[in-house]
Amino acid sequence: MPRSLRIAHLYPDLLNLYADRGNIRTLVQRCRWRGLAVEVTAVPAGDVPRLHEYDLVLLGGGSDREQQLVGQTLRRYQAEWRAAVAAGLPLLAICGGYQLLGEYYELPSGERVPGLELLEMTTVAKSPRLIGNIAIASAKCGTIVGFENHGGRTYHRHPPLGRVLRGHGNNASDGTEGVRWLNVFGTYIHGPLLPKNPRLADQLLRTALRYAGLPDELEPLDDELELAAHAAFLERRLQLSTQQTEGSHSPGEERLPAGHPSRPT
């Protein structure tokens, strides 16, 4: 019998400002609907993350204060993080967690919070805050939608998670949002991120299954409700139709069918 897929939620007591537990619940439920065994480990502040034991890690968002506290903890294990990411550990980092993957996050006071330096990336807090609904076009998942609320302007030269269709993205100037490098997924999109973006959720699961050495072919699910929520968000919140976003998909992009037989209960 295949072993369980192991997901770690790092510091949920400090980094859960934007309903990041909803991302964990989405990943777990999509595994269970397919009959895949999954385990979730919540790693509270102060505990040592056992990166070699995980197949997927979630690092969520928090306020500047919590971000400083978490940054201090993460830096103690910088060598372990670098080795794990280089080996292909899948990592989903959102908002403050995303910023901590870079070299530093500069606060409004000018103080710099050191990051893990996993990415050649810097973030500087500026006014005004970048707030609102957002949609991006990604190479593998079509459109990704959600909400953004960040003062940081993030700059890097890695491939982005996607290109901004509506909203601000990394810095409101270069048209990019997030990062997609090795098996690192970083983004400012929350709300939470995954419930309305099932294609992205499944891409994360496939990446984690491959890293774990488990079969990564996922049985299709009936995502009618999820895709309806996705389409409604595009049309009602962003005034974008699904037809308008069709041209934003990259050639050869992987597409999942919209409807399948009913999912298991």
H runs (alpha helix) in 120-259: 198-212, 224-232, 242-246
Q: Where are the domains of the chain?
A: 5-246
pLDDT digits (tens, 9 = 90+) for 176-214: 999 999 999 999 999 899 999 999 999 999 999 999 999
Instruction: For residues 154-176, give the mean pLDDT.
Output: 97
Longest CA–CA separation in the chain, Å: 55
Look at residue 13 in the predicted model and tell me its pLDDT.
Answer: 79
- Catalytic positions: 95, 190
Q: What is the model's pTM?
A: 0.89
The answer on pLDDT for 25 being more than 60 is yes
The answer on pLDDT for 93 being more than 50 is yes
Question: What confidence tier does 74 reach under pLDDT thresholds 50, 70, 90?
Answer: confident
Instruction: For residues 22-31, give the mean pLDDT.
Output: 96
pLDDT digits (tens, 9 = 90+) for 121-138: 999 999 999 999 999 999
CATH class of 5-246: alpha beta
Instruction: For residues 98-114, give the mean pLDDT.
Output: 93
Burial of 251 (0-12, 13-18, 19+ CB in 10 A): exposed
Dihedral sign for Cα atoms in the order 116, 175, 110, 150: negative
Q: Identify which of 200, 84, 191, 76 has the alpha carbon closest to the alpha carbon of residue 137.
A: 200
Q: How far is CA 170 from CA 29, 32, 71, 86, 245, in A?
A: 30, 34, 20, 24, 20
